[in-house]
Amino acid sequence: MMRIAMNDAADSQHLIEMGREALRIEARAVAALIDRLGDDFGGACQMLLACTGRVVVSGMGKSGHVGGKIAATLASTGTPAFFLHPAEASHGDLGMVTKGDVVLAISYSGETAELLTILPLFKRMGAPLIAMTGNPASTLGREADVHLDISVPAEACPLNLAPTASTTATLAMGDALAVALLKHRGFTEADFARSHPGGSLGRRLLLHVTDVMRRGDELPRVGPDTPLTEGLLEMSRKRLGLTAVVDGDDRVLGIFTDGDLRRALDRRADIHGSRMSEVMTRNPRSIGPNELAAEAVLLMEKHAVNGLLVLDDSGRLVGALNVHDLLRAGVM
């Protein structure tokens, strides 16, 4: 463990207290927004709900960084949005904006030159304008169709210069918009997953059984007259902890698992003389290939089993999977 000298410890405590004070200032800035939300916020939400295009978020500097996050949050929660850099907009990127879009412009001063330069072009396009500023009387605040007040009493920066509390308040206001729209639209987990196919939620909600099941030569199967010893070898070769027992048309007659083996041993079954039809479990739990993999998880948990057979509509064996397959796929 690193040793801290007495004067270093005092300095460390001072640093901790400065950090705490910064968080207190930012927490107060966000809390102040709660009572400030009113008709303007409701109007902004209605404007975004009525948007037939996309939400164009724009801002410079720190406001631009926050704006990028707001655009990403809107886009991932059911409100199509993208970030437009105001300086680049003056050099051709304004072509990204189309009829039906709504503009969300962010500037704490409300006087950011790059935004004011393209403001008349937004107006000429007829794009509704929502402004987030700390000064309703600013140029941007006056020109906006709806103004959202993100003013803060002070920045967390002791010089009151670096955007800190104000950017936190701006980010929180953006989240408030996104969440209000999400809830109004009835946005669901499945909707969220479609925008996040690479995430754990996307895997859990979008993967189907056919995406994770064993098939072909990996699929353990034996006939009902197969000796138990050969059934055990099949289970060992395929490493699935089970084998399907099928007829000549691959219709499933039963399943044999590690649990069935233990039960057979408990009743002193003849390992060398028994046939699979004598030791298998009939009417096994199964699932269809087009079911969500999440349904397979629920079935396994509900019935306390470690594997499932996958059957088509005719009851023919098309696959199998176990807990390890679902874990590897990130579904569990």
Could you count the other beta carbons within 10 Å of the beta carbon of residue 202? 18
For residue 270, what pLDDT is reported? 83
Domain boundaries, the chain: 15-187, 209-328
pTM over 0.75: no
Q: Where are the alpha helices (DSSP H) in the chain?
A: 6-36, 39-49, 61-76, 86-89, 113-125, 139-143, 165-185, 189-195, 200-206, 209-212, 228-238, 258-266, 276-279, 293-303, 323-328
pLDDT score, position 142: 96
C-alpha 63 chain-centroid distance: 25
Q: Which residues is 208 bridged to in the sheet?
A: 292
Q: Work out the angle at residue 21's Cα, subtended by the Cα atoms of residues 171 and 33, and round it to the nearest 5 degrees.
A: 35
* Nearest CA among 169, 175, 174 for reference residue 33: 169
- Give, for all 332 residues of the chain, the pLDDT tens digit: 455 555 677 788 999 999 999 999 999 999 999 999 999 999 999 999 999 999 999 999 999 999 999 999 999 888 999 999 999 998 888 889 998 999 999 999 999 999 999 999 998 889 999 999 999 999 999 999 999 999 999 999 888 878 999 999 999 999 999 999 999 988 766 666 666 555 655 656 678 889 889 988 899 999 999 999 998 999 889 888 899 999 989 999 999 988 888 898 888 888 888 899 999 999 998 999 998 888 888 888 899 888 899 999 988 999 999 888 888 887 76
- The type of residue at 206 is L
Burial status of residue 100 (CB atoms within 10 A of its CB: 0-12, 13-18, 19 or more): middle
Q: Spell out the CATH class of 209-328.
A: alpha beta
Q: What whole-number distance in Å separates Cα of residue 293 and Cα of residue 299?
A: 10
In this predicted structure, what is the pLDDT of residue 258? 85
Q: Distance (Å, rounded) from C-alpha 194 to C-alpha 202? A: 7
Q: How far is it, in rounded angstroms, from Cα 169 to Cα 36? A: 12
Starting at the earlier edge strand, list the strands of the sheet with 55-59: 81-84, 55-59, 102-106, 129-133, 146-149
CA atoms within 13 A on the CB side of 155: 12
Architecture of domain 15-187: 3-Layer(aba) Sandwich (3.40)
Q: Phi and psi dihedrals of 262, rounded to 5?
A: -60, -40
Rounded Cα–Cα distance for residues 74 and 30 (Å)? 19
Tell me the CA distances in angstroms from 50 to 55, 82, 83, 100, 149, one per residue in order.
Answer: 11, 17, 19, 9, 22
Which residues have a Cβ under 8 Å from the Cβ of 88 and sit 6 or more positions away? none
